[in-house]
Amino acid sequence: MKKTSTRLADGRELLYYDSRHDTVRTDADRRPAGPVATGSEIRRDPLLGDRVVIASHRQSRTYRPPVGECPLCPSRDGLLSEIPAADYDVVVFENRFPSLAGDTGRCEVVCFTSDHHTSFADLGEDRAALVLDVWTDRTAELTARPGVEQVYCFENRGAEIGVTLGHPHGQIYALPFVTPRTALMLRSAADHRAATGRNLFDDIVARELADGARLVLTGPEWVAFVPYAAHWPYEVHLYPRRRVPDLGGLDDAARAAFPGVYLELLRRFDRIFGPVEPPTPYVSAWHQAPARAEGRDGFGLHLELFTIRRSSGRLKFLAGTESGMDVFINDVPPEAAAQRLREAASA
């Protein structure tokens, strides 16, 4: 992997990640250097203790432009985009409309491919491996920055999820606080350790392997299963066999096996609702240990993949109990979801 850092006309950082070490990146951003709105504020909810990011400037962000005007495509055929080069492998750049910036953190966009008319599931294993390297590199670099407490790599796909740009891409947030979900996981892990003397993440994986009813994919390096108390109709958690706190902890064997396992999971998500359905909307989220939190060494890195589609043509909406009380009601039994995902295996 070759990494090249450059700057866009407005001063934002852009990084090319290329598979070939002899690739040279010298293209300049030919757009005028317009202003970048980065005003955001983090407020703490005194009742719940969590934090809310106020970022009103995001109301003006680019919203579903036509293909010929996509800001994530390469700059060619008369288009001047966020990426000055005429082609690229993987690109990371500072978001023009960030939720977090400056003292409040950093938001980056990750473009998985220059091909607008594709998806992560269509990538080859070599490109998926490069994306994993990019996630790992960005996690290490952002974690080392002063004030960053947690790095969150994720992908939203589909208009139903709220995606405003159709080009295959994800995002990385460098947060100045530990997210509520991660803090809750750490507390649960500490309670489990105090009660049993064992690691909670290890026990979760062991339970699913022993039960078998919710397993989706297993191999020597990774285990994928529908969790026992799944929140979403189709939700899969992917764990490395050897527990590590973050992406940087994965060994060579786990890194080599990841592309095949992950691409197969994504392709099964696209098959579970049948060939006539549009691509399955999903959220893919890496759960990594916070940078400096107590108990981080006992945290178990894992990826959570879920869709809000509950059946053909029907979405799962967060209604009164979910939105109002954080009590999820799942219409699809986890065992049935796992069975369907097993049946959606590649031919």
CA-wise closest residue to 217 among 252, 263, 253? 263
SS3 of residue 102 by DSSP:
helix
SS3 of residue 43 by DSSP:
strand
What is the C-alpha to C-alpha distance for residues 175 and 142, in angstroms, rounded to an integer? 9
Give the pairing type, strands 302-307 and 90-94.
unpaired
Contact 272, 282 (CB under 8 A): no
Exposed, middle or buried, 133 (CB in 10 Å: 0-12/13-18/19+)?
A: middle
Catalytic residue selected from 169, 192, 237, 302: 169
34: Cα separation from own chain's centroid: 29
SS3 of residue 74 by DSSP:
strand
Exposed, middle or buried, 339 (CB in 10 Å: 0-12/13-18/19+)?
A: middle
What is the C-alpha to C-alpha distance for residues 171 and 98, in angstroms, rounded to an integer? 10
Cα dihedral 205, 210, 212, 213 sign = negative
- Check if 231 is active-site: no
What is the C-alpha to C-alpha distance for residues 22 and 24, in angstroms, rounded to an integer? 6
**Could you identify the residue written with the tokens 């070490």?**
21
Query: In the chain, which residue ranges form alpha helices assigned H by DSSP?
Result: 125-143, 180-196, 200-211, 252-271, 320-325, 334-343
Contact 338, 226 (CB under 8 A): yes
What is the C-alpha to C-alpha distance for residues 246 and 287, in angstroms, rounded to an integer? 8
194 contacts: CB under 8 Å, gap ≥ 6: none
Question: Annotated catalytic sites, by residue?
Answer: 169
